[in-house]
Amino acid sequence: MSRNEWQEEQQRVNFVVEEVKKREIELKEKLGDVKADVLDIRKRFWDDVTVNFDTADDAAETHASIKQQAELMSERERSHQHDIKQLKSLHKLKESPYFGRIDFLEEGETEAESVYIGTASFVDKNGVDFYVYDWRAPISSLYYDYGPGPGSYETPTGLISGEINVKKQYIIRQGCIEHMFNTGITIGDEMLQEVLGGRSDSQMKNIVATIQKEQNQIIRNDRGKLLIVQGVAGSGKTSAALQRVAYLLYRFRNTLDADQIVLFSPNPLFNSYISTVLPELGEENMQQTTFQDYLDFRLGDEWKLEDPFNQIEYVLSARNDQEYQEKIESIKLKSSLNYMQIMDDFIVSLEKGGLVFKDVIFKGQTLISKEKINHYFYELDDTVSIPNRFQMVVEILLKEVRKVELKEREQEWVEQEIDLLDNEVLMKVHHKVEKEKKKDSDSFYEYEREQEILRALVVKRRFKKVKEDISKLRFIDVPSIYLNLLKKSLPVKQQDQSMDKIRQAIFPYEDATPYLYLKGKLEGFQVNTNIRHVFIDEAQDYSPFQFAFIKNMFPRAKLTVLGDKNQSIYAHSKISSFSALESLYDEAEIERYELTQSYRSTKQIINFAKQIIDADIEPFNREGEKPKCWKTDSYDHMNETLIDRIEELKKSYSTIAIICKTALESETLYDEIREKLDVRLMKKDSTGYESTVLIIPSYLAKGVEFDAVVVYNASQSSYNKETERKLLYTVCTRAMHSLDLLYVKEISTLLSAISNETYVQCP
């Protein structure tokens, strides 16, 4: 570009930055006034409220006055929060007001409009001229979807077509243009090179300046009920998902709130990694959880619950266990939709018989026997659903309890407990009787009445837990019913493994979701109709059964699932999980996308890693060093090599991960080298990390990226099963700039087909 053109562009940046600064000053003054208003209203709240409860009309007037004052304070506080949010947005625009520009000539117009695109909109005081358009605005999609030439974009009123005359990209820092270039249909390599060539840190960055056309389509798609994104490692699936959340909150800002969106992520570390993306874009974070957290919430009070990390640790390290193969087969069955059908057939059989009940106990004695409850249930009309019949049984049982309550008032234990009551309770009852007495001054009547009330009170307190247990259907013995299901559906060896643990109040991970499904089918499902969008990241880690369960949990929600079939490393997850999920929807409700280009890693790392699984992955054209494979003679030698290599990597990189196969191997290595190297051990409950050297098990590194990765012990003795091929691919693709593999004597045969031209063999 000519010097004059560069100067003109910089002048416009200067103009916008100055306007932003002026608006910032005005807003700060306004914020001070609004804050003072809020404090004043809080201070004078009761001064401005007329309190009078003498009559019903006075009480109603008082209530209205309090409500009016509260609404005034609430409105001022909302205004204050809105202005704070806007101030944060202005601060970012001041540093970098925009990153893109298109000159668009709309059909029927004679003059093209210059559209500048940034992270937030910025309009003149009159609200007419846009200095900057929000990247989520309808017109901004032209920037992501088209190069110079014909283009069109959707608006609420219809399609607008025209011609794009100019398309530019900018990198602006602290109000100065550092890079500027014309570009075509894709966001130019220059911009991506600048962004991707930077160092990683412990937080994911937003990608709004480098969104590619295929990612933009995912972000803005609001059609189907199920949106599936199948993308290779580093293809920007998660980034696109988070920008999609931001887009949905912008597009439907009058009807959708952040708390109506939930993201299921793979682990707490991942939650921390992505936590700053939405706030950076001026949006509140959606609800973030893991599927394990949900299972813990539902079952954790009653059971010790195994998690998927316990399961994969077993799968990766217990191959010599005599019961290993039966365990794997049991996991696979319980993860399938076929098992859900087996369960449905079993539940239908329970309509006629086979339910197991528990006695209703009071003071250590059977109040209502399980046989009696069984009789009550099965004498009801069997055309009524099981959950509805249980509600009818609840009413029957509560009536029985009320009858017993009346009889119990005369028992001796009641008198004993009255003697233990607090004086405060006794005085309250005494005053109550005093008010009732009125003209009758018979003190004997007063004593009898007090005793009557106290007896009723004591009995009511003692029966409260009984009634609560009945209302919450705790008389159903769901664990025993589930054990009966296992007896009918599994071979004996598989039965024994699960049943032994469940009898010890330990729930295997593969049994938790089926158990909750059975519980829901019997008692009625706990569904959440408030959630409108559910995002599932690392979706290849979910089983078909879990997908069906989640769909049932959120009946009004649209699902966005993101995954990579080549990173399916769990025994309970299958390539067929996605097709099983699709089978739960009509074809017209499904939108599919496939991302094949990887942006995370250098060309050299991808060319190495893709040979592990023989996958069709297009590396982004970012050059780097070839991966290095280090042969060592012993474990001590491997550890020495590791320490030397890490010290070298620390000179160039901020985030370095030593990825071990299992948690046990990670802990062992940590104990062996922590005196010689400053490292941090990451565990399944770790929630975040700073820029440092980490030791992390393979399955916890999923979804996260690091400047440099060292694959520890890539030996034949460690990675020697075909089922571990995807695991090895997954850990290698965590690396952005540097990849090293250390092994003892013989490297894994899973790497034997890799061309020696794509890596460097080190002694």
Binding residues: 231-238
Looking up tokens 């009255």, which residue turns up? 418
CA 444 to chain CA centroid, Å, is 66
For residue 207, count other CB atoms closer than 10 A to its CB.
Answer: 22
d(CA 551, CA 368): 38
Contact assessment for residue 726 and residue 610, using Cβ atoms and an 8 Å cutoff: no
Residues near 560 by beta carbon (within 8 Å), at least 6 away in sequence: 227, 229, 241, 244, 533, 534, 535, 536
Residues near 291 by beta carbon (within 8 Å), at least 6 away in sequence: 264, 542, 546, 550
Q: Is 709:728 a contact under the CB 8 Å cutoff?
A: no
Cα separation, 622 vs 603, in Å, equals 6
DSSP secondary structure code for residue 647 in this structure: H
How many C-beta neighbours within 10 Å does residue 623 have?
9
Burial (Cβ within 10 Å: 0-12, 13-18, ≥19) of residue 412: exposed
Among left, alpha and beta (phi > 0; psi -120 to 50; other), residue 482 is: alpha
Dihedral sign from CA coordinates of 381, 387, 388, 392: positive
Region label for 44, one of left (φ > 0), alpha (ψ between -120 and 50) or beta (otherwise): alpha
Proportion of the chain in helix, strand, coil states, percent, rounded to 5 = 50, 20, 30
Rounded distance between C-alpha atoms, residue 240 and residue 219, angstroms: 6
* DSSP per-residue letters across 176-218: EEEEEEE--SSPPHHHHHHHHTSPP-SSPPP-TTS--HHHHHH
Provide the terminal-to-terminal Cα distance of the chain, rounded to the nearest Å.
50
- DSSP assignment of 232-249 equals -TTSSHHHHHHHHHHHHH
Kindly give the pairing relationship between strand 130-134 and strand 122-123: antiparallel
Contacts of 324 (CB under 8 A, 6+ apart): 318
Q: Which residues contact 112 (CB under 8 A, 6 or more apart)?
A: 103, 104, 105, 163, 165, 166
What is the CB neighbour count within 10 angstroms for residue 313? 19
Q: Which two tokens mark 608?
A: 């190495």
Residues making up the annotated binding site for ATP are 231-238
DSSP designation for 750: G
Q: In degrees rounded to 5, what are phi and psi of residue 189?
A: -55, -35
CA distance to 243, 444, 565, per residue, from 84 (Å): 22, 68, 43
Whether 174 and 154 have beta carbons less than 8 Å apart is answered as no
Q: For residue 403, which phi and psi values (nearest 5 degrees)?
A: -65, -45
Characterize 216-228 residue by residue with b for buried, 16 or more Cβ atoms within 10 angstroms of its Cβ, and e for exposed.
bbbbbbeebebbb
Q: How far is CA 198 from the centre of its chain?
A: 27
Question: Token match 């491997």: residue?
Answer: 638
